[in-house]
Structure formats: C-alpha cells, structure tokens
Amino acid sequence: MRRMSVFPQHGTALGNLGLTANEIRQETENNTSELVSDLVNLSARARFQAIQSLHMPFNEKKTIRNRVNSVKLSKTILAADCRQQVSQSFRRFRASLASARQHLIIWQGTLKEIGGRFGTSVLSYFLFLKWLLKFNLFSLIINFCFITIPQIVHAPNISSITGFRGLELLTGVGYFNQTVLFYGGYNGEVIVSKPAYNMQLAYFFTVAAYLVLCGVSLIYSMSRSFQKNFVLETGPVSGGAWRLLCSWDFSVVNAKAIQYNKNNLAIQLKESLSERLQEKNKMSLSDRIKHLSLHLLAWLLSLGLALGSGAGIYFLGTDPELAFSFNHDPSDLGAEASTLLLPVVVSLINLIVPLLYSLISKIESYSNPRAKIYISIVRNVILKMSILGILCFYWLNFFPDNISCWESFVGQSVYRLLIIDFIFCLLGIFFGEFLRNVIGAMCIQSLGVPEFDIARNVLDLIYAQTLAWIGIYFSPLLPVMQVLKLFIIFYMKKISLSMNCQPPKHTGRATQIQTVFIALLFFPSFVGALSMVAFTVWSLKPSDQCGPFQGLDTPFHIIFSWTDSLPENHWVGWIFENILRSELFYYLISLIVLVITYFLWQITQGRKQLIKTLREGIVNEGNDKAFLLNKLQNLQKERREMASYRPQDFDQTPHFNPNWMNTLPLDM
Amino acid sequence: MGGTSSKLPKDLLSEYQELTFLTKQEILMAHKIFSELQDRENGLYSSRVSMEKILTLPELKSNPFRKRICHVFSTSDMKDGSLSFEDFLDLLSAFSDSATLEIKSHYAFRIFDFDDDGTLDARDLEKLVNSLTGETDDTRLTGEEMRQLISNILEESDIDKDGTVNLSEFQHVISRSPDFVSSFKIVL
C-alpha cells in the first residue's frame, strides 16, 4: 500500500520545493484520493486495520474513514451491507472478548508498577515467573482431574501407618507416603463404570500429554522469541549506539528512576565508545596469551568446582549410613530428619558456588560486558545441571534394586529438594537483600544498595522448574507445591525489590537475554527432565507392590497390551504397529526434514545477496539525488541572476531548503 | 464535553475504539483524566488543555521528551502544544500496547526531530543524546565523544550516505532493535 508516511503536517516539505499554496493543496488532495481508493479496494478487516494504523491526527482519520465509507456505500448493494453489519458486530464481539480477558489477567497492576519503577528487564523476570506459573497450574488441573479424582473416588486406600506429624511437610514421608501425593498411592485397576476407565492408561497418557504440550509450547515460544530478537544483521557493524538510544524506557515514570536510567545510559554510551576505540588498538601477542591463559584457568577452576560438587553429592548420597536407614524404621524421627541432609547440602552448594564463580570471573578481563554475563550464565547452568544429573543417575541406578516402592521414594526426594530450595530462597531474600540493604545503607556506605541480579534469579527459577518436571511422573500432585511456591516468591520478591534493591546497571539487550532464558528452559532443563522420565518409562521395571504399573515389565508395556486388546484392524492399532514402530517411517521423516532445511538455507543465502544488492542500489540513488540537487541549484541560481536583470518576468522564488531531497520517500 | 462528570456518549466511544488502538477501559480512563485536567483549568471552558496542564500528569512529568511529545501530537493552530481530547487519545494510542511498529517508529521519528524539518541531522542527534544522558557535568558527553558517537550513529544507519537519517532509514534501524516496541510505551 502506498505509504502516506512522508509528508509532515500539512505538506510543509512541499513548501520547500518552491511550489505555491494552491499546488501544495492539489498535491495533498491527490494523495488523499489515492489513499481512499486504495482503502476501498481492501477487505473489510484489512481496511479497518489500515485505517487504525494511519499516522494522522484523529480528525483526519475520521474524514478519510467517512470518505471511504461513502464511496463504499455508493458501490455496494443491500446484501453486502448485511455482510458488513455482521462483520462489524463480530469485530465488536472480539474487542469485548479482549477487554474481558484483560480483567482475568492476574497481577496486571502490580506488573505495571514494577515496570514503571524498575524498567522492562526486571519486569521480564516477573513475566517469566508468571509464565512458569501457567505451566504448573495447567499440569495441576489435568493431573487432578484425570488421575487423582478417579483414584480418590473409586479406590480410597489410605492406610496411614503413622499419624500426621509436623515433619511430613518437610520430608514428605510418613503420613504422605501412601496418599495420592506420590506414585505409590495409585493403583492400576480398571475402574468398572459405564465407560471403563483404565487407570494405567490414564496415568501414562496424562503425564505424556502434559509433557508433549509443554515441549510444543516451549518450542513455539523459543522460535518466536528467536525470530524477533536475532534479526539478520547485515550492513555496517552495529556499534550498538542506536540500540542503546532506542531502548530508552518510556514506561518508567518515577523521577529518580529516570535520573538513574539517564546516568546509566551515559555510562553505557561512553563504554561503547571506548570499546570501539579499543577494537582499533590490537593487543600485543604476550597480552593475548596472558588473557587466554587466565580464561583457561578460570574455566578449569569452574569446571573443577562443578565436578567436585557433583562428586560430593554422589558420595553423600551413597553413604550407607544415611541412605536407606529411614526405609526400615518409619517411627525413627532422627533418621527421617537425616534425609534432609542431602537437600540442604545441595541448596548450600547452589548458593555458595555461584558466588565463587563471580569471584573467579573477577580475575578475567572481558572485552565485552555481555560476554561476561553469558559466560557466567553458562557456568551456572553447567553446575546446576551436573548436580541434577548426578542426582538422577543416583536415583535411577540404586533405588529400583534396593527399595520397594522406589518411585514414591524418588518422588519424596524431589519433594524434599523443592521444599528446602524454597526455604533457602526465602532465607536468601532475607539475608541477601534485606540485611545487605541495611548494611549497605547504614553501616558500610561504600558497599551500596544491592542490585537485583536477574540472571541468578531466573536460573533459580529454571532449576526449580526442572525439578518439578522430573517429579511429575513420580508425584502427580507436586505442581500444587510449585504453584504455591511461585505465588509466595512473587510477592516476596516484589516486596524485597521495592524495599531493598536498585535496578541492574546494564539494561541493554533485555529481549536477547530473555531468548537465552527460554532456550535454557527448553534445552538442558525440559529435555533433561523429559529424557529422565522417558528412560524410566521405557526401560526400568516398575515396583511390584505399589503404583499403577505393578506387574508389568516396563510401564511402556501398557501400550502394547492396550493395542493387543483393541479389535482387529482398529485404526489406532494399525498406526501404532505400522507407523510408530517401523524404522522406515523415521528414516523417511528425517530425510524429508533435511531436504526442506537445505532448501530453506539456500533461500536465506539468496536473500542475503539480495539485501546487499539493494543496499548498494540505495547508495547509488543517494548519489544520483545529490547530482540532481546540484543541477537544480545551479538552474535556480541562473534564474535568480536573470531575474535581477528583468524583474517583471519572474515570480518571487521562496526560500529554498537544500535538504528537501531527504523528505521524499525512498521507494525500495 | 462539559461539566464535571460528563459521560462519554456511546457512539463517540465506539468511534474512538474504531479509530485508535485503545480498548474501551483505556478510553474511559483517558476521558476521566482529561476531564479532571479540563476542570482545573481556570478561566473559560475550552476544549483544549494547555501544555502546562498536560505536563502535570505523572506519566509525562519526568519524561525527557515531554515537550516534544506535546508538540508532535498537538493539532492546535497556534502551535502551542495544547491538546484536545482527540489529540490526547492519539497520544495514548501511539504509546499503547497494541500500536504497530510502524506507527511507533513514525511518531518516534517526529519526536526526535527537534527542528521539524523531516530528517534527523547531526544537530537533532546531538539534542537527542543530550536529553537522554544526564544534565550534570560528569555524565554529559564531551564534545569529542559526542562527535565520535554521532559519526558512529550515522555510519550505522545512514544508508544513502547523505549525512542525515530520514524516516525510512530510521524505521530500518528500529526494526533491528527488538527492545523498542516494548519500551515505547506509556500506560495510564
């Protein structure tokens, strides 16, 4: 569509060309009638959106719309008018739906307040938290409806060996042991009711469907975020100056925060300037070797710490004193409390080692502050994932052979880890932020008010969510705890933020870091949890005395027995036997995907070439315009000189703006 | 539109909904705030609110571009930055969540164009950087740094190499900054 974007108010640019007032009016009238005829030819919905997106003042938009409507009216017949009414009412319905949805969004006012005081990067942490809350809420609802309610209604078998003591909330054993909180509380009977409800299939499919939906949603968000934020970077190397300027946050309204942002922006601009200058100075060889060896040393130290923590946890876990002692004597409170030792150690490691990492990174020197953030994120992720990996390995290798009802035990371990992590988080808010604020403000002024460290907080959230995903199979009602936890953390963090912290200093590239976080949530976190659950379902023998899959070889065998029980030539059975179980299908799919990827890659290459050519074309056009401008100026000069000889022949030429060329559209 | 608590007639409301990006609640809230501003205007009833009154709003009070915003959205003949209710709605619509990237970048361009000549030349860019950095001496950029910064900016965005950034070049560079859409927002 023709762009009306060019002429500023009332065609002032045209005034610079030396046209009279009548000609200006004629030109704008031509533009308007072209715009109206363009709009008339669009469909109703596209026209509505196009009028909304015109950048004109309100009254001019109204005039355009009225003109379009009158032209349309003269063209259409009555039947089309009815269609227009229907589409209009449909549009109003959609608008009212959107505004109703706004009411349902929780925390709307709170989020706006946080964004107003601290900016969009801190807001992104809270939005991430809200997104995780949605995942857990969804999981809770489907688990509750499809698995827990049938179990409770049809086969209540709560045989509480011990009464309820307070320690259960922390350790998850005892009273909770046989309830529906854990895997062991479910049995795999086929509930005899009008449509027979097979609990085994229900359990399997609910967990599988939830994980698949999570995966799809994560992939979708990740690709959309990637597309928006890592746009093709062609052309001159962006020093980031425009990016810094355009990231000025208009939604911040607090005067002090704005002053703070201005100072930050000034510092960042100066930093980026000095970065550009530094790039021009090449470092000497000995300097480079020194930097490289420091980097290597830092990496070795970090990986060594991660490995050491992993080994420590492994040996602590396999310590025969602590490991299975509880399993034998349910009324021994001391032994039960000692099961809390492992989660406490894990949380302590998660707290202390990142601090060590930030100390280590001080010895390195980075050319790019963003590289520093990414490298520290990578190290923390390696630490957390290796801890989780060791724990999963330990659980899946030792428990099935040594403990009866081992799935419940795994569920209880996950439960303990989550609870202790929650407690440590609250303690961290208290000590890390509140006390540090008090110390920084009153006692040691130079320490300063603590900054809100987005990366560390988001990684904590990702860690907790990984645990929750691992625990879904072993403890279907675990999302309850996760939902409560996220709720409480939201409010605590918000209060702590307003009372104690100041916004982070490096605010640029908030959306790029967000893409990285979503990618981290998908790749090590979700994929790891999914592979662990898949391994359990595929190859481990379920326990014989409890749970819905008693007596089977692996839980996956439930699918085989189900397809065997289906009538002959049933389409589900056919799909399962011939498509999902045949290797040829997977080979074909992989081949097709590879071919499509190759084609798309070629198209991308072609487009890059096209962009380069177009850029060169624009530069040439600029040169042409400069040439024409010069020529016009010379002509005007000649005209004026001749006018000074014979003034009666020439009109008065108005003031000439040499930059008028720039106000014309660049039709690419 | 007169009186202390006048209600917005329904057909006007639906017209506003149709021609701007605002939802019904946002329009009603804007109407409420605008009426309050009008009532406190001493003197005769007028449908325009002066720039000084608009700048008392908490959302605009400390914004570094508050005066430019009022000038850009004002349709008054006297060019004094006063806003009528429709201008106010235009302002909120351009800064709302659902406004398109093209609208936002168009208005951002006009706001940053301090001398209103349709392009961003070196003087406009210098004023832009000065409004966004602090006013105190230690945060201000020195002359040398400013020159370097402006030449970096032009190198990055001036495609036709004429020394100024026009609207198309500005929109092109904005499309590569994904933070822009989420930061160019003012919500009542």
Cα separations (Å) of A529 from A59, A141, A468, A473?
57, 20, 9, 10
For residue A8, what pLDDT is reported? 43
- B177 shares a domain with B111: yes
- B146 shares a domain with B108: yes
- B59 shares a domain with B84: yes
Q: Higher pLDDT residue, A6 or B168? A: B168
- Tell which of B64, B95, B126 closes a domain: B95
Put simply, the chain B residues between 31 and 90 with a CB less than 8 A from any chain A CB are: 58-59, 61-64, 73, 75, 86-87, 89-90
Cα separations (Å) of A56 from A273, B103, B165?
38, 10, 22
Q: Is residue B78 part of a domain?
A: yes
- B86 shares a domain with B57: yes
Q: How confident is the model at residue B109 (pLDDT cuts 50, 70, 90)?
A: very high
Instruction: Report the alpha-carbon distance of residue B172 to residue B178 in Å, rounded.
Output: 12
pLDDT (tens digit, 9 = 90+) per residue, A538-581?
A: 888 887 777 777 778 888 888 888 888 877 777 777 787 777 77
ipTM of the complex: 0.86
pLDDT (tens digit, 9 = 90+) per residue, A521-550?
A: 998 899 999 999 999 888 888 877 777 777
pLDDT (tens digit, 9 = 90+) per residue, A154-193?
A: 766 555 555 556 566 666 665 566 666 777 667 666 666 6
Q: What is the pTM of this model?
A: 0.76
Cα-Cα end-to-end distance for chain B: 21
Average pLDDT of the segment spanning B35-55: 74
Cα separations (Å) of B5 from B2, B8, B82, B86, B88?
8, 10, 22, 18, 18
Rama region for B54: left / alpha / beta (φ>0; ψ in -120 to 50; rest): alpha
- Pick A243's closest partner by Cβ from B64, B162, B177: B177
Put simply, the chain A residues between 93 and 122 with a CB less than 8 A from any chain B CB are: 95-96, 98-99, 102, 112, 120
The chain-wide mean pLDDT, for chain A, equals: 79
pLDDT (tens digit, 9 = 90+) per residue, A191-232?
A: 666 677 777 888 888 899 999 999 999 999 988 888 777 654
- Pick B161's closest partner by Cβ from A12, A263, A622: A622
- B123 shares a domain with B86: no
Could you tell me how many CB contacts below 8 A there are between chain A and chain B?
A: 200
- B160 shares a domain with B129: yes
Q: Is residue B5 part of a domain?
A: no
Q: What residues contact residue A392 under an 8 Å CB cut-off, 6+ apart?
A: A470, A528, A532
- B108 shares a domain with B90: no
- B110 shares a domain with B61: no
Q: Is residue B6 part of a domain?
A: no
For residue A639, what pLDDT is reported? 87
Q: Is residue B4 part of a domain?
A: no
Instruction: Report the alpha-carbon distance of residue A617 to residue B147 in Å, rounded.
Output: 28
- Least trusted range by pLDDT, from A112-116, A139-143, A309-313, A459-463: A112-116
pLDDT (tens digit, 9 = 90+) per residue, A248-277?
A: 888 777 888 888 788 878 877 887 777 777
CATH number at residue B29: 1.10.238.10
- B116 shares a domain with B160: yes
Put simply, the chain B residues between 94 and 133 with a CB less than 8 A from any chain A CB are: 94-95, 100, 102-103, 106-108, 110, 116-119, 121, 128-129, 132-133
Phi, psi of A238 (to 5 degrees): -80, 115
Residue B169: its chain A contacts at CB < 8 A?
666
- B85 shares a domain with B16: yes
Q: How many folded domains does chain B comprise? A: 2
Closest CA in chain A for residue B170: A242
pLDDT (tens digit, 9 = 90+) per residue, A59-81?
A: 888 888 888 888 877 776 655 66
- B78 shares a domain with B45: yes
pLDDT (tens digit, 9 = 90+) per residue, A11-66?
A: 444 444 555 678 778 888 888 888 888 887 778 778 888 888 888 888 888 888 88
pLDDT (tens digit, 9 = 90+) per residue, A278-333?
A: 666 666 788 888 888 888 989 999 999 999 998 988 888 777 665 555 455 555 66
Domain containing B107 equals: 101-184
- B179 shares a domain with B116: yes
pLDDT (tens digit, 9 = 90+) per residue, A364-401?
A: 877 666 778 888 889 999 999 999 999 998 888 888 87
Strand partners, B120: B165
For residue A13, what pLDDT is reported? 47
Dihedral sign, Cα of residue A487, residue A492, residue A495, residue A496: negative
E-assigned strand segments in A77-215:
190-191, 197-198
Q: Is residue B115 part of a domain?
A: yes
Put simply, the chain A residues between 597 and 656 with a CB less than 8 A from any chain B CB are: 615, 618-619, 621-623, 625-626
Q: Higher pLDDT residue, A615 or A236? A: A615
Q: Is residue B2 part of a domain?
A: no
- Tell which of B95, B110, B141 closes a domain: B95
Half-sphere exposure of A261 (CA within 13 A, CB side): 29
- Tell which of B78, B95, B112 closes a domain: B95
For residue A7, what pLDDT is reported? 45
For residue A334, what pLDDT is reported? 67
pLDDT (tens digit, 9 = 90+) per residue, B20-44?
A: 888 888 888 898 888 888 876 554 4
Strand partners, A198: A190
Q: Higher pLDDT residue, A497 or A421? A: A421
